[in-house]
Structure 1
Amino acid sequence: MTLLAGAAHAEYPERTITMVVPFAAGGPTDTVARLVAESMSKDLGQQVIVENVGGAGGTLGAGRVATSDPDGYTLLLHHIGMATSATLYRNLAYDTLNAFDYVGLVTEVPMTIVARKDLEPTDLKGLIDYVKANADKVTVANAGIGAASHLCGMLFMSAIETPLVTVPYKGTGPAMTDLLGGQVDIMCDQTTNTTKQIQGGTIKAYAVTSPARLDIFPDLPTAAEGGLKDFQVGIWHGVYAPKGTPKETVDKLSASLKKALKDENVAARFKELGTAPSPEADATPEALKAKLESEIARWKPIIEAAGQYAD
């Protein structure tokens, strides 16, 4: 029986694997997922398809995977919202830390503080002074509660100790469209969503949220250089499987993820988007679990202080 079971398991995967992205197609997380899925497909010998299950700040897609069969054929690629939703949502349909098995970290995408191109301030210090003086008028766009832009916006308001008028959208696309059109003033979003607009001069960039300047934006200062000393945030992404997935399957998926992150095409495309693949030591179940636990603890007091919850 043991030999038969081992032989059967050795054939995994025998069919298409679905990687659920809990956000709309075309967004930053979807872009990351499709690059990784394409490379993993080559390694595993079966197609890894991306399915977009958006809604409720990513919790609908995560909930879908949490209740799927733990057979390795339904995966989740989620970002930092996996950690923040544990506090943001009062009635989650799943237990964040105990409903999943962990495959590994994928990448950590820096954020950019950007604005409509005709906003008056020319640097981050000037922007902070401006929004503080016009707090009742300045609008901050985000892609909805739980989105990366929502989280970074909350952190920005916390850092400058000034509440601003937030304008939630149903996705990154419409939020960026209104920023480009001048209907909203500022936004804090991932480089995967802002790089082309910054390079094209269609929006104004004030800072990156990484510890050091980015190669693609050598002249763009860090938030710390601009006066926000401890303002560092990256939108990390990880791959999960439903709780109870066989360890051998999780290990095979983790090994495939490591290979994908070494793929030259993946690395090159990530670089174009202002990010880089996670190092091999982070593309492990243990590293992702530790990251999720630490991020839940980090964001809980920030979310509670902001008082921005969702049902």
Structure 2
Amino acid sequence: MKQWIALATLAAVSAGAQAQTYPGNKPVSIVVPFTAGGPTDRVARDLAEAMRKQIPGSNFVVENAAGAGGTIGATKVAKAAPDGHTVLLHHIGMAATPALYRKLGYKTLEDFEFLGMINDVPMTLIGKPQLPANTYRDFENYIRANAGKLNIAHAGLGSASHICGLLWQSNLQSKDAMTTIPFGGTAPAMTALIGGQVDVMCDQTTNTTSQIEGGRVKAFAVTTAKPLSTHPVLKYYPSLQEMGMKNFDLTIWHGLYAPKGTPAAITKTLNDALKKALKDPEFIKKNESLGALVVTDKRSDPAEHKKFVAAEMIKIKAAVDAAGKYAD
């Protein structure tokens, strides 16, 4: 009995020491499973700066591990050493990939420690500048008049733009679906849209706001239940729900994850730093300028974060099953 108590005490002291010394002189890599310069990468770089302030002497760096709809980066983190020096920043694709890919190198709800949600990012339905339509209603009429002739771009299977486009088309109820054109990232998809090589795309406000403001693309609607009435650029556009798409309310959320088995003392340190970062006025301002809303509810707690992702997995699987679009 005395030996057991001694071992338990030693374990507690060891865990406490880990929390006090973590992260030490070693940087914490925030793995982004998408290319540099994209909307999720931008969230990660802003968060790295905000979290660095919360842990004295720490260094948070962003590492891009793009490919296969975010599954390469997610797999990398799932298999990383559970020491708190490798974490994953992922968006709604974390909940979508189990429905989109028949084979994954990880189990979403089993192979990660959930650290908390970061923000909610609305989506914007945008079109190439050459489109004759100027309002969402005109755009719907244009789609029907050109059934089967238009195409929709996305940044790859499992990307935010892919999920948004999939859900929008499933609600559109047009006779002929648009041809889907996948790209290797958000940047090439946006370039093709601006150049007129593709007709439409649905993407995060963090990526579309500057393009809309600069007149390089046409905006038709936002994906939130209500219009973004306080946003300086997007307040002029209706919501898809307002335009008749019943219960259409989609935001692309971002969350933070560590490999399964990361010590509780370390995950608590990371969660504490995350919660403080979410209250950082500069981080909040950067998010709001792009139409994103920093999480202020209980989803910043690990257990609620995991519960939310589990519910999103069920919702997205239903939409994917209806569309019948998978990858091996």
TM bracket, shorter-chain basis = over 0.9
Match for 2:66 among 44, 54, 73?
54
* Mapped partners of 2:17, 2:266: distance in 1: 13
TM-fit CA distance, 1:8: 3.9
8 A Cα contact 2:299 2:308, kept in partner? no
Larger Rg: 2
TM-fit CA distance, 1:288: 1.1
Residue 265 of structure 2 is matched in structure 1 by 248
Given the two structures, how large is their TM-score scaled by the length of structure 1?
0.97
8 A Cα contact 2:18 2:266, kept in partner? no
TM-fit CA distance, 1:282: 2.1
Is it true that 1:304 corresponds to 2:315 in the alignment? no
78-87 or 35-44, which deviates more: 35-44
Residue 179 of structure 1 is matched in structure 2 by 193
Q: C-alpha deviations, 1:41-82, integer Å up to 9, x for none?
A: 121121010000000000000000000111111100000000
TM-fit CA distance, 1:3: 6.3
3-state secondary structure, aligned to 1:91: coil
8 A Cα contact 2:226 2:241, kept in partner? no
Q: How many residues align?
A: 311
Is it true that 1:89 corresponds to 2:106 in the alignment? no
* Mapped partners of 2:216, 2:27: distance in 1: 40
Q: C-alpha deviations, 1:231-266, integer Å up to 9, x for none?
A: 211000000000111111111111100111111111
Match for 1:201 among 215, 222, 225?
215
Is it true that 1:168 corresponds to 2:220 in the alignment? no
C-alpha change, 1:138 and 1:244, in structure 2 (3 Å) is same
Residue 157 of structure 2 is matched in structure 1 by 145
Is it true that 1:122 corresponds to 2:134 in the alignment? yes
C-alpha change, 1:28 and 1:8, in structure 2 (3 Å) is closer
Match for 1:210 among 224, 227, 238?
224
8 A Cα contact 1:124 1:227, kept in partner? no
* Mapped partners of 1:271, 1:75: distance in 2: 24
* Mapped partners of 1:168, 1:190: distance in 2: 16
Q: Which residue identity is paired with 2:271?
A: S
3-state secondary structure, aligned to 2:197: coil
* Mapped partners of 1:166, 1:3: distance in 2: 54
Identity %: 46
1:1-311 matches, cutoff 5 A: 1-2=10-11, 4-5=13-14, 6-14=16-24, 15-45=26-56, 46-162=58-174, 163-214=177-228, 215-216=230-231, 217-311=234-328
* Mapped partners of 1:142, 1:79: distance in 2: 15
8 A Cα contact 2:117 2:256, kept in partner? yes
Q: Please report the RMSD computed on the Cα atoms of aligned residues, expressed in angstroms.
A: 1.2
8 A Cα contact 2:160 2:252, kept in partner? yes
8 A Cα contact 1:135 1:165, kept in partner? no
Given the two structures, how large is their TM-score scaled by the length of structure 2?
0.92
* Mapped partners of 1:135, 1:174: distance in 2: 25
Give unpaired runs (5+ residues) of structure 1: none
8 A Cα contact 2:87 2:257, kept in partner? yes
TM-fit CA distance, 1:2: 4.4
Q: Which residue identity is paired with 1:248?
A: A
* Mapped partners of 2:202, 2:11: distance in 1: 53
8 A Cα contact 2:225 2:247, kept in partner? no
* Mapped partners of 2:89, 2:202: distance in 1: 22
Q: C-alpha deviations, 1:3-49, integer Å up to 9, x for none?
A: 64123432111121111000000000000011001111121121010
Q: Which residue identity is paired with 2:126?
A: V
